[in-house]
Structure 1
Amino acid sequence: MPSILRATFFGGTLTLAVINGGFFWASLFFAAAFSGYFRSLFEWNTFLYSFFVLTLYAYLGTSFLMSTSEVGGASGNMPVVLASMVFGTLFFLLLGIKEFLFLWRHAIFNFLSGALYFFIGGTFFIVDKSAAGDFLLYFLLSFVALYLLIRESIEFFMEDAPKRKKELLVIGSAVLVAEFLSVVSILPIGFLNSAALIILFVFILEDLVYYHLKGTLDRQIVLNNMTILIVCLLFIFATSKLSL
């Protein structure tokens, strides 16, 4: 089955699962996702973490949209349909990277990773975390998802680097991003700006880790990344409606 049809089936079953609800429809969606991804076993393990995170957050994100939209009717279902189309497109990109359908695999992988970081951050920022148990649950879920994606990214770009060194850097990066996530969540800058900050912070960390593993990390690279972070922070805060 062509990748575009598998991606369409992914998005379609996601729409049905969220709108209809229930164990049967959820099982159908996850079965469609696993069937679409593992239909071709070529490089199945290279992007497995992205697949897990994409599938889980596709269901969680669209379910949250459904719960916040009007119940029933086209106006209530339209956000779910649009979200399913977005996640279906991301699934198509994932299949394309996995099966060498695209020439610019690294660039598309970065785009896909950025989108997943956005959904991880966005979900964490907008869900109700008033109870301590809910906060801990979503924080741990976000940490695990971030760890898996950062690890996969480092493995993809720096396959030949020492594994023990990579693992230590991945764990350290995931901890830093998770801490940054919890700090950003209390800032009154809106969830879109907050999620954008997470993407920026993760990509800067990955860039520093990449150059460190290559042995070419120097002061200029660090200063360039810090300058980008500070400029973007100033822009986001300047365009946000801050309130105490």
Structure 2
Amino acid sequence: MGSNTLLMLALLILCFSVYCKASEAGLLSVITEPESIEVWIDNIFSGLSPVLDRKLAEGTYQIRLVDPVHRLSVSETISITSNKKIVLEKKIGSRFGSLRVRSYPEGAKVYISAELGSTPLSNEFMNPGKYKLVIEHPKSKYLSTFHDLTVLQGDTVTFSDTLKKETVWNKKALIRISLGAGAAAGLIFAIVEHGLHKKYLEQYRLTGGKEYHQSSDKSALLSLFGAAGGLTCIVGLEIVAFF
């Protein structure tokens, strides 16, 4: 048998061996939502999803899907059969929740403990939990709003708010004006009654009339009440200003 014949025979055997191995292989496709998820086959990185028609020898494999953004991984065991195609479809959830906030007018600051940004705002990395949301526009003529919200894992919370303009005669302003007027009236009343007290006391000293003595005591008491009322209104002003 010549050398050429031996070479041809070796090539035929090699081709037949490759064909047999190829015929024993199966196909694997991995499709995920969202895409670009890392696909690991038996701890060997095989690319980002979707991975299509990957040839694998017959056997059992451990498939691990890793989301590097949300730091999540999902594992599954599959069996590859020769000349058959396996399609693995997985939806990878998020361990975070999402928050979307809109306001009219736009450009309002959004706070949850710290500033998250300005409206319109979208944050896809909210830890699940309960929050107190504050929307505050940089223009002081708009009133800030406060809201309680709950963010669940994998859910999206959408919030929209129309900011109201602050009016000149709002409740707080009316309370402060009333307290200011009360403080002024109380102190003026106290000063007037104190003057009458001194006047009646002087008349009593000159004439000895009991009616002047009684009027003097009455004016002194009214002066004390007026001063107390005025001081109470001043304290109220400070409390309202604080809140």
TM-score range, shorter chain: under 0.3
Bigger RCO of structures 1 and 2 (CA < 8 A, at least 6 apart): 1
Q: Structure 1 length normalisation: TM-score?
A: 0.22
Higher fraction of strand: 2
Q: Structure 2 length normalisation: TM-score?
A: 0.22
Higher fraction of helix: 1
